[in-house]
Amino acid sequence: MRHRLGLLAAVLSLALATPALAGHHLWDITEIYSNGDGSVQFVELFTADNNEQGVGAFNVTASGNTASFGGVNLPTSATANTWILMATSNFSSQTGGITPDYLLPTHFFNTGGGTMNYAGVDIWAYGKVPTDGVHSLLRNGSTAVNSPRNFAGASGSVNLGISTPGFQSWGLILLVGALLLAASGMLRRRPELAA
């Protein structure tokens, strides 16, 4: 009888056991970036732990917007010391941009400050985000040159700051020519003025 009870307990425990689910709760939002008009943005997450690949069912929310992981988990349980990059679809086409792991809609977060929420397990009340096209806001509240990293280990840095147009070489030639013309006319008139 004892043997049958033990067997019955083993069968019941196997039948009632739920499959192990991949973790998702140890990711932290570490860096956010936006250009001046919010059309290019990224959100970076980091974990120091393995077995955190189960992000697929969750979202990141900010400013009333939601970005989904689309039901797609990370490809491996080897997640220790890795990043997830969520970025607008045009991010990778920028000079210094890299391929995001997941997509964000444009104007995803408010650059004046707000709350960013990953799956209800990491909530960041962030301050003003730099919009100079170069710097990003780090989790500790400081700013630095943006440094996005994706799950594959690629890193980059974009510079979408407003640039002043360079003085084209043809413009310099025209300027020098105009100055020479003006100077030659002044030299011709000078003797007449002396007379």
Q: Is residue 48 in a domain?
A: yes
Residue in this structure with the two tokens 């310099």, named with its chain if needed: 172
- List Cα–Cα distances, 167 to 44, 162, 173, 177, in angstroms: 37, 15, 10, 15
Across the range 133-144, mean pLDDT stands at 98
Query: How confident is the model over 76-90, as pLDDT tens digits?
Result: 999 999 999 999 999
- Angle at the Cα of 91 from the Cα atoms of 32 and 168, rounded to 5 degrees: 110
Please count the structural domains in the chain: 1
Greater confidence, 79 or 184?
Answer: 79
pLDDT interval class at 22 (50, 70, 90): confident
Q: Is residue 15 in a domain?
A: no
Query: How confident is the model over 83-134, as pLDDT tens digits?
Result: 999 999 999 999 999 999 999 999 999 999 999 999 999 999 999 999 999 9
Q: Is residue 35 in a domain?
A: yes
Residue type, 122: D
Q: Which two tokens stand for residue 127?
A: 């301050």
Domain range for 133 is 28-145
